[in-house]
Amino acid sequence: MRRRFGRAIALDGLSLAVQRGEIYGFLGRNGAGKTTTLRVLTGVLRADAGIVEVLGQQVTKVPVELKRRIGSVSQEQHFYPWMSGRELGRFVSGFYPTWDGPEFERLTKLLDVPLDKRAMELSGGTRTKLGLALALAPRPDLLLLDEPTTGLDPVARREFNDLVSTIVKERGCTAFLSSHLVDEVQQVAHRVGIIQAGMMRIEGAVPWLLESVKRVKLLAPLPSLPPGFEVVRGDVLRATPETWSATPWPEGTLVEPLTLEDIFLAFARTDAVATAA
């Protein structure tokens, strides 16, 4: 990993850089490019263009030595159905020199995953939690999560995210969480990036995003926007927090703060609307 930058992931084609030791929330609608990005990072797909850097190495195809430092959990878990959780642990351990057997046992106990049941006998939520335990047991430097909690009940979702947050904090590893569940991402992510049609629209820490994107309701249209502002869609505008603080608005103007979900919808929706002001 490059100590100078401390980056765990960098993709210049998507203008994306994920820093070491953080949870990065990757938001986008279905089909926006989230899973494709994850597949590039795990080596399943090759990027068509641009530069991809994983754990400090520029790659066109992720080599085996890097894959051994990456843990991955996807929305659907593909296990050999006849294997029990314990047998899956033994099978997966053969691919990772850093496999920690006692840690796998601890994680499955913490997540209430029965190790003696075959994978085909487990519920979807329990299979997801088993997938997380398998991904974390080798103590990866980078954890890639592709909409892993879709379909989980609220309790299981909270347990999953709490464990990811704890592991990142304790180990200093990096988690890249792809999702379209805005509330979930807001709870755990240090920074958030919103993509639409394969392009990064905005990224930053959640407090910064909330201060940068707001709704402006005017009594009468302005001849032009104040310097430093741009229209996201409709009456939702974007500027730096400093620009918002320094800009005087006409009397009667209402500047409304938005939730992260409102901001996500403003950037991610593709239907055309009239431009504000």
pLDDT single digits (tens) 57-107: 888 888 899 999 999 998 888 899 999 999 999 999 999 999 999 999 999
Per-residue confidence at 12, pLDDT binned at 50, 70, 90? low
Indicate the DSSP class of residue 274: P
- Mean pLDDT computed over 209-219: 95
Residue 140 β-bridge partners: none
Determine what percent of the chain is predicted with pLDDT higher than 90. 60
- Give the integer Cα–Cα distance in Å for 133 and 111: 8
- Mean pLDDT computed over 223-247: 94
- pLDDT single digits (tens) 97-154: 999 999 999 999 999 999 999 999 999 889 999 999 999 999 999 999 999 888 788 8
pLDDT at position 196: 87
- Give the integer Cα–Cα distance in Å for 223 and 114: 65
Q: Give the residue ranges of DSSP H helices in the chain.
A: 34-42, 64-67, 85-93, 101-110, 124-136, 154-171, 182-188, 206-212, 241-246, 260-268
pLDDT at position 166: 94
pLDDT at position 173: 93
Coil/strand/helix, residue 158: helix
pLDDT at position 264: 94
pLDDT at position 268: 87
- Give the integer Cα–Cα distance in Å for 266 and 260: 10
- Mean pLDDT computed over 212-239: 93
Map tokens 């299979």 to a residue.
127
Radius of gyration over alpha carbons of the chain, in Å?
A: 21
pLDDT at position 113: 95
pLDDT at position 13: 58
Per-residue confidence at 199, pLDDT binned at 50, 70, 90? confident
pLDDT at 273 over 50: no
Q: Is 228 left (phi over 0), alpha (psi -120 to 50) or beta?
A: left
- Mean pLDDT computed over 252-265: 95
